[in-house]
Amino acid sequence: MHTELSTTPVDSFIRPKVACQALSLARTMIPRAATMTHRSSCILRPPLKRFVLLSIVNQAGWPIWPLLALSVAALAIMIERLLSLQTRRIAPPELTTQVLALVRAQEDDPHVIAKLKASSPLGRILAQLLVHRDLPDAELRRSVEDVAQDVAYSLNRYLSGLAMIATVAPLMGLFGTVVGMIEIFAAYRPDGSDPTELARGISIALYNTGLGILIAVPCIIAHRYFKSHVESLLLRLEQSARRLRESLRE
């Protein structure tokens, strides 16, 4: 009795195992490959656009340059006025009380008065009162009013320029809109217009209009704020001068 040998080759038992191992290995490698592909795509991705402002300027055309100059001038005026119109620089809170104490102690000599005059606008007005204290009331009031007018002029400095920028900026934006409309009509042809030229005219019109309004609104707000602040400072100067004058007349 012969024993029949299996005719199935040995490879038929090995290949399925090898195939299963290769499949599992491939499944584990696919996420890594996807991650590497994603990283490489991030590396090869073009960088973000820089100089966005320059691209806007190029799209807005040459009419935007006067608007940019106006915006720089307005920003410079706002910063200068914010620094110059601080209450502690114009009317220090304790200065009037200190001057009254000097007058009561009779220590208001010319050196102290000169130092007081150079300290602040309020000190300038109070020093004028101390220097001319012996004049009649009418002449004393006139001399103090002359100094107060100079102080008021210095406090209101550049505010008219800020108001002018607030008025001119929308008009300059409207001028840019007209230039953009001219380019739109110039690009029109009966046989078909170039879409890029039409888009450039539209971008010139819109960018200049928007920038003109964007400049005008902060200028109007800043002008109103500075005017009200100057009025409050002038009122404080007047009250301090009246207080010292009444003390001198006692």
Q: What percent of the chain has pLDDT over 90?
A: 38
User: Does residue 144 belong to any structural domain of this protein?
Assistant: yes
User: Does residue 152 belong to any structural domain of this protein?
Assistant: yes
User: Does residue 26 belong to any structural domain of this protein?
Assistant: no
Range of the domain at 200: 61-249
Instruction: Check whether 21 has a pLDDT greater than 60.
Output: no
CA 83/CA 89 separation, integer angstroms: 9
CA angle at 69 for the pair 68 and 71, rounded to the nearest 5°: 65
The two three-digit tokens of residue 125, written as one number: 């007005």
> Where on the phi/psi map is residue 61: left (φ > 0), alpha (ψ -120 to 50), or beta?
left
The two three-digit tokens of residue 103, written as one number: 């007058």
User: Does residue 168 belong to any structural domain of this protein?
Assistant: yes
If one compares 69 and 133, the residue with the highest pLDDT of the two is: 69
* pLDDT tens for each residue of 76-115: 999 999 999 999 999 998 998 999 988 888 888 889 889 9
If one compares 154 and 13, the residue with the highest pLDDT of the two is: 154
CA 177/CA 185 separation, integer angstroms: 12
User: Does residue 24 belong to any structural domain of this protein?
Assistant: no
pTM higher than 0.75 for the full model? no
Reported as a pLDDT band with limits 50, 70 and 90, residue 57 is low
Domain count, the chain: 1
User: Does residue 76 belong to any structural domain of this protein?
Assistant: yes
- Nearest Cα neighbor of 179 from 65, 71, 68, 51 is 65
- For residue 237, the model assigns a pLDDT of 93
User: Does residue 164 belong to any structural domain of this protein?
Assistant: yes
- Nearest Cα neighbor of 56 from 178, 185, 211 is 211
User: Does residue 36 belong to any structural domain of this protein?
Assistant: no
